[in-house]
Structure formats: C-alpha cells, structure tokens
Structure 1
C-alpha cells in the first residue's frame, strides 16, 4: 500500500476497531488506546496508520487494507467502558388482575348460590378492555402498578367472596332460627267469654272460648303475619252478666312483648318482622 495514499473514514474506523481489540487482549493500556485512537481518527495517509501499528502484530481476519477480507464486527468493549442498549420486553398484562378476580368470583358463585356471578361478568369485561393495551418496559425496571393491579384483583375477589359467603351464612342461620311466639287474651275482671281469632304463618283458628286464653307456638325462620283478636267479650257470672268486659290481646316473641292492646269487649294485636 502506497504510504502517501490517503485513507477514508472507513479505514480510520477499522483502525480504531483493531486498536480496541489489541486493548482487549492486553497489548495496550487505556491511555495508549486513547492516544492511538485519536491518532487514527486524525490520520491522513496510509503512512500515518502504519506508524500507529508499527509495534503491534497482525490480527488474523482484521485488516485495515480495503483489499482484505471483510472485517468482522468489532468485539464487545471491556466491561465498564460501554453500556449495552436496553432490551425492550413485554410488561405484565394489565388485564390479568381483573381476569383472575373474575375467575375467582365465578368459582365462588357455585358456593354462594350465584351471588358472585354478576361481579364475575363485570370483572371479565374490564379484563377484556385492557387486553390490547400491553405496554413494554426495560428489564429490571418494571413499575409496581401492573403487579399491584393483579394483587388488587385477587383481594377484591376474595372480599366479594367472603361477603357473599357471610351473607349466605347469615341467611341460612336466620332461616333455621327457631322463635317462640306466645299469644295471650286476658281480662282483669276474672272469667270472661268471647270469640277469639289467632293467625300464625302456619295456622289459623277462630273459636269461642273462655278467657284468659294463652297458647305458645314455635316458628322457624322469620316471624310474620301473627295476629290475635278477641270480640264479643262479656262477663259470664255476677250482676254484669252479658256486659262488655275489658280484654287485653298480647303477642310475645322470644319473651319480648311486641304488641298489646286493651279495649272493652274486643281487642286486636299483630306483629310481622
């Protein structure tokens, strides 16, 4: 190669790459590398480049001459000198949290009589709307928000399931609870006769009886539509025979008086939860 022939930018860049290879194997110090790279970048002729490589051996496959074989890509720089470009990878799916919550609510629906199926449908729609919006992030720098959404979805599903199970349990317990219902018809004047009507959720009766009258019922579940009434109440002995007598109708649920009324000749009491 004619030492007076000028070099192009491609030859200067190739020379710098070869110098970095000599540095990588330990033939040059860092300071020498910087000086020789600067000299190669400012070289004008092949003679200038020859002086830079005068004390360095030839590296097979790495030639400065344009007639040489194609030069392979320069080796990676030593650790700490250059930073590798970031690799972009898919981030966490933002719809995974609602999707997991939807499946959890769907499964819980079989144990809660379908109470959690409506939240499951809503969460599935939310998850589908987020399916096509998947951002990308650099490895090691994932934001906390996507994972937080996933954990939040599981927590929401768990809370919904717990609330549904508790509500179902309360309903079952309430439906199986036994209540004691007492109905009383009495008079402060002693023996009284009259017509009484008693209605409970399971039975009803109407009859003419002597007062006082008392009866106890055991009712499972809610206590509703309990009524007791008396009419045509009158004295059965003494000077006031066939005269109206004051009577009192009382309804007692679980030892608590829930309704009571008093009147001459008739009374009426009712209760419903």
Structure 2
C-alpha cells in the first residue's frame, strides 16, 4: 500500500516542495548569486553602505544552508516591477453634461404636448453653452501659459 507523506493532502492538486523553507536545507550557487544580485541592486540604489554590502555578500557567499542567509534581505524592500499607476478619474464635466441631458429628457417627457414651456429648455441650453465656453476658455488660457514666449 502506497502511503502519502503527512504534508500532502489526500486529494490530487498542485504539489509544493515540503522543505522549501527548511533552514537546514543546503543552498545552491544559483540561490547565492540571486541574493547577491539583489544586494547589489540595493547597494546601487543607496540602501546599503559599502561596509554593510561587503558584510552581507560575504555572509551569503559563505553560507552553506538557508538558515545562514536568513535575515540578509529582511530590512530591505522587495525588488520587482513598480506598482501599477492609480486609475485615472473621469472629469466632472462629463457627469455634469450627462445630468443636464437627463434633466432635458425628463423635462420634455414631463411637459404635456399642448403646453408650451420653453424656459426650462432655454435654461438647460444656456448652461450647456456656458459650460462649453468655460471649458474652452480654460484650455486656451492653459495653452497660453505653457508657451515659452
């Protein structure tokens, strides 16, 4: 009868090495060089001075087990891709325009066919024209301010 080791679940699935974090496991040259490269990048970015860098690299290169290199990178940030940029928000003007359009449609639907009430329509058109003019004026003023002459 085939017995499973105690760390494996009885159902099939992805397997992981049981001893990946074992501090008594011997370290490979590739792992030593990977840690030394990370230390070099931190040194180049100014997070380590030369004495600290030499001490840590010496400790890594002389390490025999994973326990010997434990803590070498603990006080340094992880290297990797930068975090994604924050999502850009839509300008408020689009929401204002959508709200005005909704009010326009609601006002037309609410007015009976035989009553002539143009004041709400005139007000909405006036707000749209004012909003458009103000926006165009802002961009023109901004473009003039950015010119070197």
Shorter-chain TM-score tier? 0.3 to 0.5
The structure with the largest strand share of the pair is 1
Structure number with larger C-alpha Rg? 1
The structure with the largest helix share of the pair is 2
Please, what TM-score do these two structures have when normalized by structure 2?
Answer: 0.38
